[in-house]
Structure 1
């Protein structure tokens, strides 16, 4: 399983965090779209890993454990995907639990901000969409605002209400980059920078992110992912080579109605890169 021509989808979300499908439904969807190697990467959570592994095997797919950890870097939220780790590692689970802390308080503050502009009941409304109430997030608020007709789609919600400077935005202090990478690495996994084009960093900030990530033991970067353009595939293929990182591929699928791209439908990784699954061959289940 060393070719870059492999239908691997190593980034998606279930109801255990902010997706709308169960791990079992995601596995069936991935299989239907030709996925051969799959990972479920719920936000700051590994509670769906045993179900995802069983569902992958039931559908004839290979599996890598996964999570997506929120970190604060240069005053922005950055996501670090972990792959191929021991999902039952106590230090990793403790770190993720600590990172999840404060989400409910933050969500109540978001609801209070929305109430000030005439949108009431947002906390309870968002909670209906949260399969895991400890992981209530902006995405759940977005779904409530679409349901109630305040906005036409979740992109409009984020643009008008849930980004910096708007009524429902509340910052949150996440894990440090060092902590997130080291939790993954000490659990025998690989840390991967998720969708790097999304952060809007200056070239100097991005160079600092990649440098610090590598210094802490990070080994991979998502090159082909749902929010990247073809030009950005090239940019981050070059970054992978510059920093000697393994390349990952993942749709970042959340929902059939919301996601930019479906599970298993991404372009192939550029052939000159070394895929993460080659380095993690002994962790594929």
Structure 2
């Protein structure tokens, strides 16, 4: 089965609409997909509506910026109730923090360098709720400061060189709102934490005690050996396995569109 349980739309920092994600899945024969935008579920309704009546299994999801101690982690929530008041309250708060962070980075490290204003950013995003680095780049692209999305990764590195993302929710809170909304919570891209194997395993045990349901074992930066290791950890700890490519459309052109295997999130 072709699957992708980690996809982003234009409602966070991807470039595709939710409808286009479903179209891509249909075009490439992907049977099961999840929309997991950063700290927002604004695109989920359109995503689910686009998949209705097709053979594609569409799963409502979200990726919540979280922290545990001094570690920043991303928690994927699957099968969530998008009308959950507690979930919406947390996501609205994180979206506001994301926007404040983006504006801070823009005014401190981008505006003068490119002779560009926040008003120009807003001009291309009049109905947008949350702002991300991709929102800045997209506006500047439309105004001719960039020719295509090819320079986006360097633009992000430039911004992060001065100020990395720091907004987050306690991981316990992320687990709580996901579960209260009827969903399951998975740790995203564990390799990006850059821990040793023993440190990873102990961390997974800690997360299980706090309520995590599974681990994203399949991810573009995980080698086959590493994915097998994460699957083994899940087997030992009685956790579920997920996988996704972190699809961002043109904002991350080297990501594959899907994985092939027997992984299913339900």
TM-score range, shorter chain: 0.7 to 0.9
Closer, same or farther in 2 for the Cα pair 1:130/1:89, shift >3 Å?
Answer: same
**The one of 204, 207, 210 aligned to 1:213:** 207
Within-5 A mapping of 1:1-285:
6-115=1-110, 118-121=113-116, 123-124=118-119, 133-143=128-138, 148-149=145-146, 153-159=151-157, 161-163=158-160, 166-167=161-162, 169-203=163-197, 206-256=200-250, 258-264=252-258, 266-268=259-261, 275-277=263-265, 280=266
Which 10-residue stretch deviates more, 172-181 or 139-148? 139-148
Structure 2: gaps (5+ residues): none
Given that residues 65 and 167 in structure 2 are in contact (C-alpha distance below 8 angstroms), is that contact kept between their aligned partners in structure 1? no
> Secondary structure of 2:52's match?
helix
Structure 1: gaps (5+ residues): 1-5, 270-274, 281-285
Given that residues 223 and 233 in structure 1 are in contact (C-alpha distance below 8 angstroms), is that contact kept between their aligned partners in structure 2? yes
Closer, same or farther in 2 for the Cα pair 1:202/1:112, shift >3 Å?
Answer: farther
Give the CA deviation at 1:130.
5.8
Give the CA deviation at 1:249.
1.8
Give the CA deviation at 1:231.
3.1
Given that residues 18 and 130 in structure 1 are in contact (C-alpha distance below 8 angstroms), is that contact kept between their aligned partners in structure 2? no
> TM-score normalized by structure 2?
0.85
Closer, same or farther in 2 for the Cα pair 1:34/1:127, shift >3 Å?
Answer: farther
For residues 166 and 218 of structure 2, what CA distance do their matches in structure 1 show?
28
> Secondary structure of 1:101's match?
helix
> TM-score normalized by structure 1?
0.80
Which 10-residue stretch deviates more, 208-217 or 112-121? 112-121
Higher relative helix content: 2
Given that residues 109 and 159 in structure 2 are in contact (C-alpha distance below 8 angstroms), is that contact kept between their aligned partners in structure 1? no
> Secondary structure of 1:118's match?
helix
Query: CA RMSD for the aligned pairs?
Result: 2.8
Given that residues 251 and 261 in structure 1 are in contact (C-alpha distance below 8 angstroms), is that contact kept between their aligned partners in structure 2? yes
Higher relative strand content: 2
